[in-house]
Amino acid sequence: MAEHDDIHTPVLLERCIELLGPALQRPGAVFVDATLGMGGHSAGILERFPEVTLVGLDRDPEALAIAGERLARFGDRIHLVHTVYDGIGEALDGLGIDEVDGVLFDLGVSSLQLDRVERGFSYSKDAPLDMRMDGTSELTAEVVLAEYSEADLRRIFRDYGEEKLAARYARRIVEARETAPLTRSGQLVDLITKATPAAQQRQGHPAKRVFQALRIEVNQELAVLERAIPAAVDALRVGGRIVVEAYQSLEDRIVKRELQTRSTSSAPPGLPVELPEHRPELKLLIRGAELADDDEKARNPRATPVRLRAAERVRRAS
């Protein structure tokens, strides 16, 4: 188990515990870790709140196995479910749970997935072009690169990678696959590097945004997130709290929009009195997004891009 602790340092653990804590002190409280990973955040919560029951969700069977071993000491306080996080409602129904006290999302690719070279998430190591968070699913990065049209490749590089050279990269990929299939990350990195002007190569690794875009497409991360955040809020009891850690702007935009919408009155302008059904469902616990401080970044470099948002449920939807 030590090897797993070495490769998994939970991002902003103490801050997450501080934000979730007031909701988790209730006897019989239920906490949902919607992105369980190897269970670092959950272990911290279960240690700090001895009456909390955990529902841990993850799409990655390997992560679930590691987390199950790591959290076994908490006995019947843990319930682990193999599902994508937009399946939170179905997971809770399956356990007979009507509402929960806290939900945490730690988004993006996990430490386990990044550190397993063979998973193909990293552009710095040659590996099969896989990028599946759930190895039982069918779509891989190799399939995307082999079968998507030039227009679709351009779209995902532009929309999911915010890549300015999306059209150029898509065209080069389509040209290259006519000669030989792209099956390894090293091939893709070499192709992208050669297609990138020298001046732009000095601005950062040229493959970074393309790899991000492919990962998001393979795992449908943004579409899943757009369903998951509303479902998580709906599952909260009044007084329950949600905390979300996002690592890139596309994720953070989705989270920000949902939390802001549900923390804003829906009353039409000009009404002399706000009716109860128009009152906000949420109260924001942080103004804007909170960033990791320098000490956290030094301890855990993966915290560098994090954007943390949190809210408390103050009214149940009518």
105 forms beta bridges with 244
Q: Binding site: residue ranges? A: 39-41, 58, 85, 106, 113
Q: Find out whether 177 and 103 touch, Cβ atoms under 8 Å.
A: no
Q: Cα(31)–Cα(28) distance, rounded to whole angstroms?
A: 10
Cβ–Cβ < 8 Å for 15, 308: yes
Give the residue ranges of the annotated binding site for S-adenosyl-L-methionine: 39-41, 58, 85, 106, 113
Give the HSE-up count for residue 134: Cα atoms under 13 Å, Cβ half-sphere. 16
Q: Which residues contact 96 (CB under 8 A, 6 or more apart)?
A: none
Rounded to whole angstroms, how far apart are CA atoms 237 and 220?
A: 28
Residue pair 34/55 in contact by the 8 Å Cβ criterion? no
Q: b vs e for 268-295, b when ≥16 Cβ sit within 10 Å of the residue's Cβ?
A: eeeeeeeeeeeebbbebbeeebbebeee
